[in-house]
């Protein structure tokens, strides 16, 4: 899972898996879901993210994480 924030458009993309999206659906105003060829969710795009959410903090709870370090 990856989080991508684009300040120029104030959008937050939550990538759940790297498979390409082949269909998009707006499920609520400013919330778009990307689906793969099998109809599975691959990501969410949130418009106006900084006005909707506090983007200054990221917290994870009970995720099976692997630690990676930048070189």
The whole domain housing 11 covers 2-52
Please report the pLDDT score of residue 58 as a whole number: 82
The percent of residues above 70 in pLDDT, for the chain, comes to 97
Q: Which residues of 48-63 are buried (b: 16+ CB within 10 A; e: fewer)?
A: ebeeeeeeeeeeeeee
In a domain, 64, yes or no: no
In a domain, 27, yes or no: yes
In a domain, 68, yes or no: no
What string of pLDDT tens digits covers the 71 residues of the chain?
A: 899 999 999 999 999 999 999 999 999 999 999 999 999 999 999 999 999 999 998 887 877 777 777 66
Q: What are the angstrom distances between the C-alpha of 12 and each of 46, 48, 64, 67, 69?
A: 5, 8, 23, 23, 23
In a domain, 19, yes or no: yes
Please report the pLDDT score of residue 64 as a whole number: 77
The total of structural domains in the chain comes to 1
In a domain, 18, yes or no: yes
| Contact residues for 26 (Cβ-Cβ < 8 A; gap 6+) | 32, 33
């Amino acid at each position: 899972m990856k989080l991508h924030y684009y300040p120029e458009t104030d959008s937050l993309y939550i990538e759940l898996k790297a498979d390409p999206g082949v269909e998009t659906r707006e499920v609520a105003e400013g919330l778009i879901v990307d689906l793969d060829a099998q109809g599975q969710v691959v990501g969410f795009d949130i418009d106006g993210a900084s006005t909707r959410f506090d983007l200054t903090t990221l917290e994870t709870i009970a995720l099976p994480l692997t630690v990676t370090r930048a070189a």
